[in-house]
Structures are given as structure tokens and as C-alpha cells.
């Protein structure tokens, strides 16, 4: 998987020093906590170097844009308030994507000798070659915990080993170019936002929540194979504690 971590050999200091618990349950790394919500700024028409699009009234391009695309704001307060298992935190999702970290435990996800990484997506449709996703990778044992503890995944899930995950764009809400109203979108998987290529004109009219990658060298993994491989992988015991809502995070992307 081509990531900043692979190029630099290091992962930037995290905002979460250790696994967090809530009422005895381990909380997935990318989960949003109630104390991390901030007021949503008004979206306005703005002209940037890339052309006309949307922006915030009080925009700071150094912190409000990623890859030149406007991004939603959020605070960093993991462990404060209550975990919102249905929602994913934008900063931690982007960090997991860019550095190939497990969305559940935040450890390096690309630890296999063959370099392939595991992806778990909501919905029973098999993961296809070149498919785009905003779901970060996951460890084998963490995938088992997600499947076993997340009600949304009871409706179906797909797992695959992936040779390369390359940057595609963002997941977010595209706005009408005339009215600036949010446009409706129906994702190909449960809970998905619109996936927008960062090289497209539509990216200028998108309020992004997450980083999206495209998956290449995809090999499907059956439920039986998933359980068998998880048993072979030696992971810290924390992986095998109860993980609340891990799959909910995976299916909200």
C-alpha cells in the first residue's frame, strides 16, 4: 500500500496515546466522540487558484482544505463525552488512510510478509478491482471483532486482501453550483457519501469528510478464510477484547 508511512518509515505522533474504553467496551480508533463536534460554518461561493467553488466564510486554507478540497471541521478530543459509534472522525480517518493504520486499533495494518492489506467493507457485494472506498484498512483479529460486534455488518460485509491502495479523492457532499444547496447522493454501499476524484471539477464544489482510495490487486476473502487467518495471526490481547461499533464505523464511510 503506497502511504506516507511507507515512504518516511515513521508515523506522525497520534492524538490517541492508547486504546480507549467506554463502559467496558473498546472504542475503535476512528470513532467520533461527542466532545469533538464543532459548529458548522456557513458555506459560501469562493474563487481559489483552481477556480470557482465553495468555501467557508471564515476559511483558513491551511487547515480547512486537504488536497485543495474544502473539509468539514472537527475538534480533537478522543475519550471525552461519549463515542458516536455510527460516525467516523475525519482527522483519524485521514490519518489511518494516509499511513495504512488499522481503523480499530490504530496499529500498522500492512504487516503481512507479502505486503498486502486487509479491507472490510459493509454490504454483501464483493469488493471489486479498482473499487473506491473511505474505509481504512483493518487487522485480521480486529476484522473479526468488527464482524462479531457490529449490527450493521449482520446485513452483509465483504473482505479482501489488497496489493495497493492509491489516493483517489474524497468522500463528501457535493453542492449545487447555482444554489450551493447540498445534492442528494445514493452510495454503492451502505452509508456511503459521494466519492469525488480530486482532479475533477466537482471537487471544488464538495465539502469533504474523508479521504478515498482505490483498491488494486484485490483478492476476495471468504468468512471462513477470515476466521482461519485471524487465528494464525499473533496480535496483542487487546485486539480480542470487545470492540463496540467497529463495523458501524466501517459502514459509515
| pLDDT given at position 240 | 43
Q: Report whether 202 contacts 211 (CB < 8 A).
A: no
Residue 6 has pLDDT above 50, yes or no: no
Alpha helices in the chain (DSSP H): 4-8, 61-64, 90-98, 140-149, 223-232, 246-251
**Residue reference for cell 450551493:** 180
Q: What distances in angstroms separate CA 236 from CA 119, 138, 141, 181, 223, one per listed residue?
A: 20, 14, 10, 47, 22
Q: Report whether 243 contacts 153 (CB < 8 A).
A: no
Q: Report whether 207 contacts 44 (CB < 8 A).
A: no
Question: 154-173: per-residue pLDDT in tens?
Answer: 788 999 999 999 999 999 99
| pLDDT given at position 13 | 54
% the chain with pLDDT above 70? 84
DSSP state of 108: B
* HSE (side-chain half, CA atoms, 13 Å) at 222: 3
| pLDDT given at position 232 | 73
φ and ψ at 115, to 5 degrees?
80, -5
**Residue reference for cell 478530543:** 77
Residue 73 has pLDDT above 50, yes or no: yes
* HSE (side-chain half, CA atoms, 13 Å) at 107: 12
101: helix, strand or coil: strand
- What predicted TM-score, i.e. pTM, was given to this entire model? 0.85
Residue 125 has pLDDT above 70, yes or no: yes
Residue 241 has pLDDT above 50, yes or no: no
Q: Report whether 84 contacts 120 (CB < 8 A).
A: no
196: helix, strand or coil: strand
Amino acid at each position: 500500500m503506497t502511504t506516507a508511512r511507507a515512504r518516511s518509515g515513521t508515523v506522525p505522533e497520534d492524538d490517541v496515546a492508547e486504546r480507549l474504553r467506554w463502559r467496558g467496551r473498546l472504542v475503535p480508533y476512528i470513532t467520533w466522540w461527542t466532545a469533538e463536534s464543532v459548529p458548522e460554518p456557513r458555506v459560501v461561493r469562493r474563487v481559489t487558484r483552481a477556480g470557482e467553488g465553495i468555501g467557508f466564510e471564515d476559511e483558513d486554507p491551511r487547515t480547512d482544505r486537504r488536497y485543495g478540497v474544502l473539509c468539514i471541521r472537527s475538534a480533537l478530543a478522543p475519550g471525552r463525552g461519549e463515542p458516536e459509534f455510527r460516525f467516523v472522525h475525519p482527522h483519524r480517518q485521514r490519518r489511518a488512510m494516509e499511513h495504512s493504520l488499522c481503523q480499530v486499533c490504530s496499529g500498522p495494518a500492512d504487516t503481512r510478509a507479502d505486503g498486502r492489506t486487509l479491507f472490510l467493507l459493509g454490504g454483501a457485494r464483493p469488493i471489486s478491482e479498482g473499487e473506491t472506498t473511505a474505509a481504512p484498512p483493518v487487522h485480521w483479529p480486529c476484522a473479526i471483532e468488527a464482524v462479531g460486534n457490529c449490527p450493521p455488518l449482520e446485513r452483509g460485509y465483504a473482505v479482501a486482501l489488497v496489493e495497493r491502495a492509491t489516493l483517489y479523492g474524497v468522500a463528501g457532499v457535493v453542492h449545487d453550483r447555482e444554489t450551493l444547496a447540498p445534492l442528494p447522493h445514493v452510495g454503492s454501499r451502505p452509508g456511503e457519501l459521494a466519492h469525488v476524484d480530486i482532479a475533477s471539477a466537482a471537487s471544488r464544489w464538495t465539502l469533504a469528510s474523508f479521504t478515498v482510495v482505490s483498491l488494486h490487486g484485490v483478492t476476495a476473502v471468504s468468512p471462513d478464510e477470515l476466521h482461519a487467518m485471524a487465528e494464525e495471526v499473533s496480535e496483542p490481547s487487546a485486539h480480542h477484547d470487545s470492540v463496540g461499533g467497529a463495523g458501524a464505523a466501517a459502514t459509515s464511510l
